[in-house]
Chain A
Amino acid sequence: MAGASVKVAVRVRPFNSREIGKESKCIIQMSGNTTTILNPKQPKENKSFNFDYSYWSHTTPEDLNYASQMQVYKDIGEEMLLHAFEGYNVCIFAYGQTGAGKSYTMMGRQEKDQQGIIPLLCEDLFTKINDISNDNSMSYSVEVSYMEIYCERVRDLLNPKNKGNLRVREHPLLGPYVEDLSKLAVTSYNDIQDLMDSGNKARTVAATNMNETSSRSHAVFNIIFTQKKHDMETENTSEKVSKISLVDLAGSERADSTGAKGTRLKEGANINKSLTTLGKVISALAELDSAPNKNKKKKKVESFIPYRDSVLTWLLRENLGGNSRTAMVAALSPADINYDETLSTLRYADRAKQIRCNAVINEDPNNRLVRELKDEVARLKDLLYAQGLGDIIETYRGTVPAITGLKLTNAMTGMSPSPSLSVLSSRAGSISNLHDRIFSPASEEAIERLKETEKIIAELNETWEEKLRRTEAIRMEREALLAEMGVAMREDGGTVGVFSPKK
């Protein structure tokens, strides 16, 4: 599973009584990981989405294709628990329309085989702990907290007497936390069950036409799991703390289809009637234009959008990147009467696949560094080239006399560059296999060659003009010397005659 992105699963439930009453048709189809939704008004039009898992739970356990609670847990929950044992933070959240099956997936029911992800995970956690408890060097502690986020206010479900709105804060050492949120120690799955039950009772419940037990709040159940390992030898105790966040998101639907009345309508009301969402429109404009640009050349423009993240996003920010694992289960209603909402849920889940951590590393451009390095590469290459030539000279020293006497010939006679130099330049082409030889593991040889060829390299580096001047000077010296001795030189270098030495 990719580290920084969200694993997404969708799950479709059976018809509920309301849907049966309205003789609804099933508009969801699943095949492998693909979910397809049919438009009840335009039967030919269908949309398909791919997810990490598409769970078909519309029928019954007798159906081979049926995805049971256990299967969902095995695919998603188990992996998360393993990650938590490794020391990662994990987060699972359930999203979807009221009554689509979120709570069933997350909590389930107390009956056999109907337990949801949360109870199964907790059971598993304690089973694992008890298995390894034979190892005396390891000790574990488990604490839980349970909170409700309702209209951006945070309430402690394990201490409902605390009516106050709890503040979310960040501490440099303790990390993000909710002020005064109770963290209760638990030693068994039963403890967790009891606490969850009492917490659930305390949740804000809005009875709507759709579903008697629907809720308009997010519920966040946190398990803080600490593993301490005591090393007998060093007397050191190392600690691994991981947080497992299990989130049941408020119903995603709009108000119209529920027929809800009164104050409850305000929550899901058509808020376009007031200008309160002007801010959202403007934010969208500003955010849209400062989105990370795939084009490397265009630098991202930095902006600050004053609107606070929702409390939920803020609290889960740490789970959307880095060393965390996140999974989302989207619950779907199979009925045609819920087409709009179901499609909206599918789209949301589809977008969730793209969620990535947004702490981008902004790099300074490194053009200057690149240029410097390119210069260094060029310098080293020149060295190699020269070294390569030196190597050729070595090789041919014994075989081609012309080259052997190269030094001497030039110095003595001032003759024009022998054909041997052109031989040299054509040999330059075979530098690549020289390269191999020089860099061979048996580089003692190479080192020796290096030492010897340094002198030759120096001479080769002399420009041809300099060489000519030098040899010309030597020639004149020699002629003068010979003239003193009374020997004349022919143009081709041979001596001719004797004459009286000039003074």
Chain B
Amino acid sequence: MHWFELAYTHTMYYLAQVYRNLGENERAATYCHSTLQRQLQLNQFSPMEWALNAATLSQYYITKGQYMEGRHCLAAATVISGLAGEVPSEAAARESETESERREQLQQKRADIARCWIKYCLNLLQDAKKLLEDNIGELDTDRQDELKRARRQEEEEEEKGRKSALLFGSEDTFDSIASVEEKVMCLLPLGFTEARAVFLVGQNYVTQAKEYFQMDGYVTDHIEILQDHSSLFRALAFFEEDLERRCKMHKRRVDMLEPICNDLNSRYYLLIRRQLMFELAETYNEMMDLKLTLANRQADNHSLDSHTIKKFNHLCSASARYFQMFLDSLCSPEGKQPEHLEEEVLRPALVARFRVARLHSKLISSSPPVQLENLNRALENYKYVVQYCEAHPEAAAAVETELELSTEMVGLLPLKINRLKSRMAANN
């Protein structure tokens, strides 16, 4: 009888492979799910391996937006990984190589599960944002109300769904799994309170994952976790109505990523540093915009006080500096700019130029020579975009909008520059 049950489980497993090879991923996933379920029911599993498989399957569900199933897989993974036993102590690990390896394995795999949870929270927040945002990336309150009304229907369906879904576990574990599930929602958060709750769950798993994936030893993994943490903040900021608090969230991102970016060896970690530079540039830009909006709301007329201007300029320059750093990282070891941009960096490089141009034209200064310098730098960078696309026509498709605007600005900025020059000449 036991052999028969095992054969049935294997059949599920083979079907999963068949469907995967046929490209029918949904079916394949269902069979993987069934295989896992049967393994638990028959007590035919090694806890850590099972947990990792369930956690990986959750990632499949997440990519499909099926958060209820994803959450269930993760909750089961968390519970079952607990069945693998206690982590051997450091002392025990020093004594025996097997214990040392076991300690390593358990810690690492549990940290891996934490990382899967982080992705769950992150994707949930990001998908909610996609649904709620208007065409310039702000929260659309009408859509929010609409979705809140539709929510009641969803909740009923969730209940139905739970009953029909393939539940993992045995009598012992059903409850534990359910209690882990209760800690985080599986419906898309529609407002700040819900978003914050999801954020906090994600942040908790960040802390857990970082305990194992420390910087010294696991640079790449550690930074990926930090990047996820930064993305969690960014997603939460979308839901935050108070602009001052929103700005503080972005500041947390900067404080987290800036020291890392500067401390990493630029040769070995070139690619990851590029990601960090670009993200820092965008974050400073975001903060700059927020400060300006805040200042304009407070002032009765449109003049800004010197303190605000200083702050604004600091954020503006910081953003430009990081975009420039990104561009410098594309140079050869001798410092020569690339004549041809590789596919992976083509769009980011041209966008960076575009952004540097825009930032320079936004800098505020009361000194005309400084204004002139800023406008000239802006023009220089817009020109680069236009000239590069002329020399490499295939590049234009990657930066359509930016190219269009750069072309306009190359035509129009000289107008502004000339007006400034004429004023300077008049004043002399």
Contacts and interface: CB of A to CB of B under 8 A. Distances in A.
Given A278-B35, A384-B412, A443 B418 contact: yes
6 contacts: A170-B218, A173-B265, A275-B35, A306-B112, A361-B348, A367-B136
B56 interface: yes
Contact of B415 (A86, A176, A285, A380): A380
A373 B358 contact: yes
B13 A278 contact: yes
B130 interface: yes
Contacts of A87: 333
A367 B135 contact: yes
A288 interface: yes
B63 A290 contact: yes
Interface residues of A, number: 74
Interface string A69-101: 000000000000000001110000000000000
A374 interface: yes
A170 B219 contact: yes
Nearest to A368: B136
Interface in A359-406: 359-371, 373-374, 377, 380-381, 383-384, 387
Contacts, number: 208
A304 interface: yes
Interface of B: 9-10, 13, 16-17, 20, 25, 28-29, 32, 35-36, 39, 49, 52-53, 55-57, 59-60, 62-64, 109, 112-113, 115-116, 118-119, 122-123, 126, 130, 135-137, 215-220, 228, 231, 263-265, 267-272, 274-275, 278-279, 282, 286, 289, 332-333, 342-345, 347-348, 351, 355, 358, 401, 405, 408-409, 411-416, 418-419, 421-422, 425-426
Contacts of B405: 370, 373-374, 377
A447 interface: yes
Nearest to A448: B422
B122 A447 contact: no
Contacts of A284: 20
A173 to B, nearest CB: 5
Contacts of A176: 219, 268
Interface of A: 2-4, 86-88, 169-176, 240-241, 272, 275-276, 278-279, 281-286, 288-290, 299, 301-307, 317-318, 321-323, 356-357, 359-371, 373-374, 377, 380-381, 383-384, 387, 435, 438-439, 443, 446-447, 450-451
Given A275-B39, A305-B56, A377 B412 contact: yes
10 nearest CB pairs, A to B: A175-B268, A359-B271, A170-B219, A306-B112, A87-B333, A303-B59, A447-B422, A380-B412, A289-B63, A322-B270
A171 B63 CA distance: 32
Contact of A301 (B52, B123, B137, B271): B123
Contacts of A299: 126, 130
A154 to B, nearest CB: 14
Contacts of B411: 435
A322 B271 contact: yes
A82 to B, nearest CB: 13
A361 B56 contact: no
B122 A288 contact: no
Nearest to A301: B63
Contacts of B286: 364
A318 B136 CA distance: 37
B14 to A, nearest CB: 8
A359 B268 CA distance: 13
A302 B122 contact: yes
B269 A175 contact: yes
Given A374-B405, A377-B412, A447-B421, A282 B32 contact: yes
B53 A279 contact: yes
Contacts of B216: 171-172
Nearest to B411: A435
Contacts of B115: 304, 306
Nearest to A273: B10
Contacts of A88: 333
Contacts of B9: 275
A368 B422 contact: no
B136 A323 contact: no
Given A175-B267, A301-B123, A359-B271, A289 B64 contact: yes
A176 B137 CA distance: 39
Contacts of B345: 361
B149 to A, nearest CB: 26
B130 A282 contact: no
A170 B221 CA distance: 10
A451 B109 CA distance: 72
A285 B29 contact: yes
A88 B55 CA distance: 38
A450 B351 contact: no
Contacts of B401: 370
A211 B270 CA distance: 41
A278 B63 contact: no
A172 B116 contact: no
A306 B55 contact: yes
A304 B414 contact: no
Nearest to A169: B217
Given A307-B56, A356-B344, A373-B405, A281 B333 contact: no
Contacts of B267: 175, 241, 323
Contact of A172 (B25, B219, B231): B219
B57 A286 contact: yes
B93 to A, nearest CB: 13
A384 B414 CA distance: 11
Contacts of B126: 299
A383 B411 CA distance: 13
B13 A175 contact: no
B3 to A, nearest CB: 14
A272 to B, nearest CB: 8
A111 B212 CA distance: 51
Given A175-B269, A279-B49, A303 B20 contact: no
